[in-house]
Amino acid sequence: MLSKSLMLVLRLWHTLAVRVLLLAVLALLAVVLAPVLEPVIPKTLRDRFNQQAVLPILTILASSMLAVTTFSLGVMVQAFRAASSQATPRAYRILIADPTTQNVLATFTGAFLFALSAIVMFRAGYYGSAASVVVFALTVFAIAGIIVAILRWIDHLSRLGSMDHTLHMAEEAARAPLTAVIAQPCLGGVAQSRIPETAKPVKTIRAGYVQFIDIKRLQALMEAHDARFHLRQTPGDYVMPGAVLGLTDTDAVDTQAICACFTLGKTRSMEQDARFGLLVLNEIGTRALSSGVNDPGTAIDVIHRMTALLLEAGGPKDNAPLFDRVTVPPLQARSLIEDGYFAMIRCGANQREVVDNLLSALTALAHGGWDDLSRAADDARNYALSHARAALRVQQDKDWLERQ
């Protein structure tokens, strides 16, 4: 179970700025520490790889990497904006965390800073003849890294911004939180049944989406005061100032310490929110069914991907709770079905091929191993049939529907 500090570290690692900064720091360290290896450089190499041999390569590298980095940033922004306009604005936050794009841009930026800094050090007289050999070797390694990055970038550009790439990224982003939350439907806590009437509310002074709850820290706070905490809000919920985050049966715990266990933000995130990934996929499918786009094939692809995700995740496991002093409302299978399918049921009710795939997907889920999901899928199938009966106009389509 992630702690809040580890969650923040992972968020930073998945940002473009941090990876670029890391490669930039490594490049600067390599430039500054190059003279340390001077004593181990043979004299024959000092005469062959001197300043005149290295400077022209560094100059070419600096000028070309600046142009390549600028061009790549422009391509990335345009591709992600195009993808978010075709799919859903929520997809942009998923695409911007693409590790391949981040690593390639970090490599280009690091190579540029390395070459530029090395040129400055040469002009300042910081390097001797032996250090020139070290810089030459580092330059060769940098060129090798650039070649690998360019090959990856060329391959990646063929998919970047396409609907297939957007769907793949959204599907993979939804998979991990869905699997984790289904494995622990109560986030590792105890399934909530009844909250004591004497429990005292803990209210927030901020507004925002509940992005992350540090259950481990809540458990430690409750153990220290021999108390229990009953969650009222779960990841994905939007709270207003004064909303009750949960209730506790003691006055000894500092309210601010409890509120510090909750991470609120202006947007939803996927660390613990299993429903958000399905909602993003649903939005992509719904937009594809709009009259302005009219792309039922993408909607059908979304249906297949969501159904596969739910079937692969399986049902809740009978795992013993990790945190016995925190009660949590369990994940509802009906919520997963509603977030994933209901909007597409309404938008695609007048298209026979979409209805056919929806009915097939919901039938597959109804025969899955999770009883609650089976019942929810069966109800959603009846909901889809009702909408289709009202939307289909051609008699042959109506006759086909009655046979389903």
Same structural domain, 106 and 179 = no
Look at residue 42 and tell me whether its pLDDT is greater than 70: no
Domain that holds residue 124: 14-161
Average pLDDT (343-361) is 93
Quote the CA–CA distance of 16 and 341 in Å, as a whole number. Answer: 33
- pLDDT score for 401: 87
Same structural domain, 153 and 294 = no
Question: 45-62 pLDDT, tens per residue?
Answer: 666 667 777 888 889 989
Same structural domain, 134 and 178 = no
Question: 258-305 pLDDT, tens per residue?
Answer: 999 999 999 998 888 889 999 999 999 999 998 888 889 999 999 999
Enter the tokens of residue 183: 């494995």
Structural domain ending residue among the three candidates 161, 191, 219: 161
Query: Strand order of the sheet with strand 208-213?
Result: 238-239, 208-213, 262-265
Quote the CA–CA distance of 318 and 68 in Å, as a whole number. Answer: 53
Give the whole-number percent of the chain exceeding pLDDT 90: 38
- pLDDT score for 88: 83
Same structural domain, 129 and 177 = no
Residue 40: pLDDT band by 50, 70, 90 thresholds?
Answer: low
Same structural domain, 155 and 18 = yes
Same structural domain, 76 and 177 = no
Structural domain ending residue among the three candidates 161, 194, 226: 161
Tell me whether residue 243 is in a domain.
Answer: no
Same structural domain, 157 and 177 = no
Same structural domain, 65 and 123 = yes
Tell me whether residue 105 is in a domain.
Answer: yes
Please name the residues in contact with 293: beta carbons below 8 A apart, sequence gap of 6 or more. Answer: 86, 287
Tell me whether residue 110 is in a domain.
Answer: yes
Dihedral over alpha carbons 71, 72, 75, 78 (to 10 degrees): -100
For residue 143, how far is the Cα from the chain centroid? 31
Tell me whether residue 231 is in a domain.
Answer: no
DSSP characters over 315-346 = S---PPPS-TTEEEPPPPHHHHHIIIIIHHHH
Same structural domain, 130 and 177 = no
Count Cα neighbours of 307 within 13 Å in the Cβ-side half-sphere. 21
- pLDDT score for 45: 66
Structural domain ending residue among the three candidates 128, 161, 194: 161
Average pLDDT (343-348) is 93
Tell me whether residue 247 is in a domain.
Answer: no
User: Which of the residue ranges 35-44, 110-119, 336-345 would you say has the lowest mean pLDDT?
Assistant: 35-44
Q: Which of 370, 253, 354 lies closest to 309 in space, CA to CA?
A: 370
Q: Report the domain count for the chain.
A: 2
Same structural domain, 105 and 178 = no
pTM of the model: 0.84
Question: 92-118 pLDDT, tens per residue?
Answer: 888 888 888 899 999 999 999 989 988
Tell me whether residue 216 is in a domain.
Answer: no
Give the whole-number percent of the chain exceeding pLDDT 70: 96
Same structural domain, 178 and 71 = no
